Amino acid sequence: AQSVTQLDSHVSVSEGTPVLLRCNYSSSYSPSLFWYVQHPNKGLQLLLKYTSAATLVKGINGFEAEFKKSETSFHLTKPSAHMSDAAEYFCVVSPSSNDYKLSFGAGTTVTVRA
């Protein structure tokens, strides 16, 4: 079985300050991990993915995430938030790189203050 816990339902940051979105997972296998972003009235867009290569994964729009097996975490960070980063973010786990069973976290809503 696998599960995903996003530790914060809402995160509010000032423009230009760092963003940290926390995600812990549980999986019986060597998982693949993803972060998706959903802007209002839009579909989900892939930010980045981890599939057992480098533990520090760089994604689009300046985001990156670090896979820490010992902590079963996959936190998402960005050094400097932009107004356009306001959205909902989902941490997603798949048991392996060749498995369809995605498990979604409940989501973290990010607001960016001017």
Partner 1 sequence: DADVTQTPRNRITKTGKRIMLECSQTKGHDRMYWYRQDPGLGLQLIYYSFDVKDINKGEISDGYSVSRQAQAKFSLSLESAIPNQTALYFCATSDFRGNGYTFGSGTRLTVV
Would you say 32 and 49 are in contact if contact means Cβ atoms under 8 Å apart? yes
- Do the beta carbons of residue 34 and residue 92 sit within 8 Å? yes
The yes or no reply on residue 102 touching partner 1 (CB under 8 A) is: yes
Task: Return the structure tokens found at 12.
Answer: 């509010």
Q: Does 46 bind partner 1 (CB under 8 A)?
A: yes
Smallest distance from the beta carbon of 44 to partner 1, in angstroms? 4
Q: How far apart are CA 35 and CA 104, in angstroms?
A: 10
Residue 21 engages partner 1 in binding (rule: CB under 8 A): no
For position 84 contacting partner 1 by CB under 8 A, the verdict is no
Query: At closest approach, how far in Å is the CB of 13 from partner 1?
Result: 21
Determine which residue in the list 19, 27, 32, 47 makes contact with partner 1, applying CB under 8 A.
Answer: 32
- Whole-number Å distance between alpha carbons of 20 and 13: 9
> Distance (Å, rounded) from C-alpha 80 to C-alpha 42?
23
Considering the rule CB under 8 A, would residue 106 count as an interface residue with partner 1? yes
Binding footprint of partner 1 on the chain (CB under 8 A): 4, 9, 32, 34, 36, 41-46, 49, 51, 90, 94, 96-102, 104-107
